[in-house]
Structures are given as C-alpha cells and as structure tokens.
Amino acid sequence: ADGYYEYTMSECVYSTSDYSDMVYLESYSFNKVVDVQFNSTVGKFVGYTEEGVKHAENWNKDQAILQHSKAAVDTFCRPIVQLDDSSVLDKA
C-alpha cells in the first residue's frame, strides 16, 4: 500500500517513586523515522532529519510552544503517572 506514516508519541520516563527524575519526551515521526523530539531535560526541540531541524528551529523560537512542552512534566506526566501508580500499587 502506498502512503505515508506519520505519528506523535508522548512519553513520561521515570525510575524513582517520588518522580524526581521524571522526563517528558515528545517525538514526531514520519515513515517510522523520528524527525524531531522534545526532551524536558534538554528543554528544547532537537531535529534529527533535515525537515526535523527546520521544525525544531521554528518551535524553539515560539515561546508559547516551548513553555507548554516544558510544563508537560507537571501538567501531563505527574497527574497521569500518579493516577496510574495509585491504581496499580494500591492493589499490590
């Protein structure tokens, strides 16, 4: 089948129970190749392909986009992980 495969993936990565090491990753892929990724530890978008570098440069210039992504550890990751952990760990 001819066509294109494009997707975005958001991940919350951590290994401590207090979430102090939590990292938010937001990856944009095209045809199974990661073009650009935001890493909350790095604090900016990084491009891995020619097209991804262009996107990263533009998104890093936009303070609203950058602040939204930087805040995702607290606004997206922690609430979801705490909810998931409480439902799983309380059952153990």
Residues 6+ apart with CB under 8 A from 38: 24, 25, 26, 27, 44, 45, 46, 59, 69
Q: Is the pLDDT of residue 48 over 90?
A: yes
79 closest CA partner among 19, 39, 38: 19
* CA–CA separation, 56 and 81 (whole Å): 27
pLDDT in tens, 71-81: 999 999 999 98
37 touches 48 (CB < 8 A): yes
Please determine, for residue 7, whether its predicted confidence score (pLDDT) is greater than 70: yes
Tokens at residue 18, please? 């207090």
pLDDT in tens, 59-72: 999 999 999 999 99
The reported pLDDT for the residue numbered 92 is 52
pLDDT band at 16 (very low <50, low <70, confident <90, very high): confident
The CATH number of domain 6-86, selected from 3.10.320.10, 3.40.50.300, 2.30.110.10, 2.40.50.250: 3.10.320.10
